[in-house]
């Protein structure tokens, strides 16, 4: 990179090889028509920002997966298990209504005696 016949001489890194997100160029002029050029290498900041972005992505995935598992467990306990129990009772009643009624009475009696 040249500014008023001066070239960039900073090891093996050249500004032309850096991406636009890894480079910041500031050019200033004063009253005497002198031009000052500053070139900043932002690769370290870009790498840190990228690593933090990846970490945030993994964190969000973990939180969403944990939430899905908890929601699935709760919906199974609160919705599906009672429906399955009701279907089992209906099937018992359909097979033998008198025996199902007798078992229901015995269960209610046992609960009252346990109190």
Q: For residues 62 and 36, state if they share a domain.
A: no
Q: For residues 24 and 79, state if they share a domain.
A: no
How many domains are contained in the chain?
2
Break the chain down into helix, strand, coil percent, rounded to 5. 65, 15, 15
Judge whether 22 and 46 are in contact, CB under 8 Å.
yes
Residue 77 is part of which domain span?
A: 46-114
Task: Give the per-residue pLDDT at 54.
Answer: 98
Q: For residues 6 and 31, state if they share a domain.
A: yes
Q: For residues 63 and 13, state if they share a domain.
A: no
Q: For residues 35 and 50, state if they share a domain.
A: no
3-state SS class at 26: strand
Which pLDDT tens digits describe the chain residue by residue (115 residues)?
555 566 656 667 777 777 787 888 888 888 777 788 777 778 888 899 999 999 999 999 999 999 999 999 999 999 999 999 999 989 988 998 888 888 889 888 888 888 7
Q: For residues 27 and 81, state if they share a domain.
A: no
CA pseudo-torsion sign 33, 34, 38, 39: positive
Q: For residues 28 and 77, state if they share a domain.
A: no
């Amino acid at each position: 990179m040249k500014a008023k016949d001066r070239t960039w001489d900073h090891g093996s890194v050249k500004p032309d090889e850096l991406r636009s997100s890894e480079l910041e160029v500031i050019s200033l002029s004063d009253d005497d028509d002198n031009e000052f050029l500053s070139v900043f290498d932002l690769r370290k900041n870009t790498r840190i920002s990228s690593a933090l972005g990846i970490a945030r992505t993994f964190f969000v995935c973990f939180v969403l997966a944990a939430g899905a598992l908890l929601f699935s467990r709760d919906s199974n306990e609160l919705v599906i298990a009672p429906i399955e129990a009701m279907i089992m009772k209906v099937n018992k009643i359909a097979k033998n209504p008198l025996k199902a009624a007798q078992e229901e009475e015995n269960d209610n009696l046992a609960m009252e005696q346990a109190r």
